[in-house]
Amino acid sequence: MAIHTHERIKYYDTLRFLAILGIIILHVSQVFHDAGLIGDKFYSLSEITRFAVPVFLMMTGALLLNRDIELGDFFKRRFTRIIYPFILFLVIHRIVFYIIGVYYDPSYLNQIFSLPFSYNWYFWLIVGVYFFIPILNKVIQNSTMKELEYFVLVILGGSLFYQIMLYLHLVHSIDLSFFIGPISFVVVGYYLSVKEFDISVNKIITIALAIFIITSFLKIGGQLDLPYNLFHNYQATKTKIIKSSLDLAFVQLLQAGSLFVMIKYVHKSTAGLYSKIRQFLENNIVNKFITSVSKASYGMYLMNNTFKLILGILLTGVVLSKPSAIFLWITTIIAVCILSWLIVIIIDKIPYLGKWSGYH
């Protein structure tokens, strides 16, 4: 299998753009958890954007696997890119809460020593993934496409099996933890980045779009406890000592994977409606904005957590009518996106702080 070049790939930026937008929608929706929207909770409807973290993990696989990795250089470059911004935004988080008085909340004081470990679960998840990447990379480098497809099939089958067992409350002793975990999305992301399907581009996009819509509705139904609640989120890595919000459900794999394929092939479309979407995405101004947000996505991810908690404090006890809640929900999402993006860019422009901004 060919090794990727270092050329910037447009659909990667589009996927990162959608992923960070999805994260912010999810976090803002958590603040509006009890507000009504066509009879449903905002948070339930935000399941449409639950693909966000899986897509970030899929991008990790697409970008880092099947490369020549030298351990010292890999850990130096990769860990500094995520650790420096984590430290900076954790400090900002603490300062903001000191200013608004939450620092003196007894329940907050009890978390002083554990805060670095609980502040951002995704950071700790990606640290674990990075430790495994050099080993997984050797497996991928020495695998044929058929062997890679076997890996993906076990991931999909194992995820579906575990979720059915959970739904039926059946205890079993089948351990597929090597396959079912954050690494699932990493492998699937790499596979989809190199796989070329033998049907027309527009047909692939249409099929992927249909799968994305169907799985999104199934995920919403799972959150609303509808009869097909087999499709509840399946957080297989959440234990007494590991806290993770990563959804490893079969439906989640399909939702994130279909979006990955859809965006990949939209950027290849040359005819019909999909080509017009590609032209819009690749318009000079739009493309520059998407690329900038993509580069800032990690810093934005870290920064939006502080906005989320501030919003939670400001909106405590606030009762809104349905139209007002919808308007405030939309404007808050836009505001958090723009402010997070601008803060990352400003930090990146400050001398000596570039590597701390998360902009890359």
Handedness of CA 182, 184, 186, 192 (dihedral sign): negative
Rounded to 5°, angle at Cα 3 from 177 and 54? 40
Look at residue 330 and tell me whether its pLDDT is greater than 90.
no
Could you give the CA distance from residue 265 to residue 274 in angstroms, rounded to a whole number? 9
The rounded distance, in Å, linking the Cα atoms of 280 and 253 is 28
Q: Residue 36 forms beta bridges with which residues?
A: 41
What count of Cα atoms within 13 Å lies in the side-chain half-sphere of residue 128? 13
Quick one: pLDDT at residue 280? 95
CA dihedral (131, 133, 136, 138) positive or negative: negative
Q: How far is Cα of residue 258 from the mean position of the Cα atoms in its chain?
A: 14
Tell me which residue of 232, 252, 117 sits closest to 184, measured CA to CA: 252
- Work out the mean pLDDT of the chain and round it to a whole number: 84
Q: What is the pTM of this model?
A: 0.89
Instruction: Find residue 40's DSSP bridge partners.
Output: 37
353: pLDDT strictly greater than 70: yes
Closest C-alpha to 137, from 67, 192, 75: 67
Report, as an integer, the average pLDDT of 57-79.
Answer: 93
pLDDT tens for each residue of 148-168: 999 999 999 999 988 888 778
Integer Cα distance of 231 and 163 in angstroms: 8
Alpha carbon separation from 216 to 116, 257, 259 (Å, rounded)? 33, 12, 11
Q: What is the DSSP letter of 318?
A: -
Confidence of residue 99 (pLDDT cuts 50, 70, 90): confident
Cβ atoms of 259 and 50 within 8 Å: the answer is no
When pLDDT is cut at 50, 70 and 90, the band that residue 209 belongs to is: very high
pLDDT of residue 243: 67
The whole-number pLDDT of residue 327 equals: 82
Buried b / exposed e across 193-226, counting CB within 10 Å, b at 16+? Answer: beeeeeeebbebbbbbbebbeebbbbbbbbbeee
Q: Are 14 and 267 in contact (CB under 8 A)?
A: yes
State the pLDDT at residue 254: 95
Give the N- to C-terminal CA distance of the chain in Å, as an integer.
27
What pLDDT was estimated at residue 5? Answer: 47
Helix (H) or strand (E) holding 40: strand 40-41
Q: What is the pLDDT of residue 319?
A: 63
Report which of residues 287 and 94 the model is more confident about: 287
Q: Quick one: DSSP state of residue 37?
A: E
Q: For residues 336 and 304, is the Cβ–Cβ distance under 8 A?
A: yes
The fraction of the chain above a pLDDT of 70, given in percent, is 81
**What percent of the chain lies above the pLDDT cut of 90?**
54
Q: Is 36 helix (H, G, I), strand (E, B) or coil?
A: strand
Determine the average pLDDT of the residues in 308-315: 75
Stretch 59-71: mean pLDDT: 94
What letter would DSSP give residue 9?
Answer: P
